[in-house]
Chains A and B, each alone.
Chain A
């Protein structure tokens, strides 16, 4: 979970959604501004075998409020929800299905209820429009859950709900990276339900077959730990994943910003500290962007007080070895040698640690750049043996050193 800055996030796991997802987003874009204009929509493709991901990418490109996450294989609905929650910034978070069984038209009523101060507001489906067979499967499913958990599970309640951010944060504080399951929530939250008309799925049938329901029951009862590094492929050019923590925003580098970045990099005050110090032409910059902006390299524009102030990156990621190279520079003079770089570094390093599951990192620093050396040492980097006389020295950051330094830095920055 990233720190909160938006009022509302909508997290939607997507499976077999290529016929519904565009229409659903159209509806949401009409309805959400009515209840809260400061919102985001997070679509999590659960390795859907149809064209869901292509549709999501297109939606992301056309609407900055829409984020897409692509899971590398089909993990199931609840791990998909968890992946979305990981990137949700909202103070209130809505979870809903992608196939119109959860209707966006019910959102205003759910929202209104949540504004009465309830931590959780769940949609209670009435008049389930399902076959007898399916109703039996569903009933059995909920009976098993009730028996196993010792809690009375109302089968009319599904995923569709609005959660206060604290509910989700406390869940993950308690359950680490385990898939989000409403059954494992603490009991002391204020809770309300709103009766909604259950719609038939856009596909005419649920994506959850009998075997999937039992699999879902297993996930709900024994939520497994999610290894995000293996589950999430983030495509920066199309996904607007914004990291926000420690008071700064890290916004993925997009094609619109590469000319600005090129000008920064060509400024002698910046280039003199770089290993590559030649003048960068627009063509070189475009080629670099094409080659480098992929799932192995994350480049973020550091955004602070409404301004683009610098760049930080996690690049050359080697997922198998759980390591990557980090870098940062601040361009805006006002923020040079201030706390902003530290805030951005912590934000990026936490992303590497928590989301990419990296356990170590490296940094290349010019031997003459004493300020950068001291800066990186402050973050926990150490010069590797045999690097003392190198012009471009290689430093390494181990996870335990970072944790130690991070604790100290957070204490000073907060």
Chain B
């Protein structure tokens, strides 16, 4: 009976040591980035709010575009775990490669503590990145009904912000699309008139509008063209 009590006490102590309680300032961050930003760093400061030694055993992101680092604490080189004493502070840093994307992207960073199973990390940090648009394209897609009329449709292209951005070239992926680009205000406002040569065949095409932006993500804008039957 005595040895059982000692065993249970030992088990309890082990459980307490492995339990952790990391308190983050915030687990969700909304970040707006500059137009030309290629990568951003998002920091998630935290503290070991428990009374015991706590550890982070693994940290990762399900997207290859994010590299995760943990600073602070004491790192066990062999296992890769990072230990934090009670009250100890640290920072989870997510380095996000933005590539040529624009718009709103939401990504997660996962952190496994000593008490988590391999499949279920207890800490999920979310980063919502807002990459500004430079050109407002209205509408982004044009539709014609199969065997319907082929009346021309207009797309308006407006530069956002005070800096001009010129459309320098326009091309189409399909020879069956007629288009004409008209400048309303150089660098700021354009109008694109589009119509298919025929609506007798199904058509899926993209108009590419090349700009003089120095940033790759704004160098091409697309307008999509469809001729298809009405949905039943």
Q: Are the chains A and B members of one assembly?
A: no
> Measuring CB to CB, which residues of chain A are less than 8 angstroms from any residue of chain B?
none
> Measuring CB to CB, which residues of chain B are less than 8 angstroms from any residue of chain A?
none
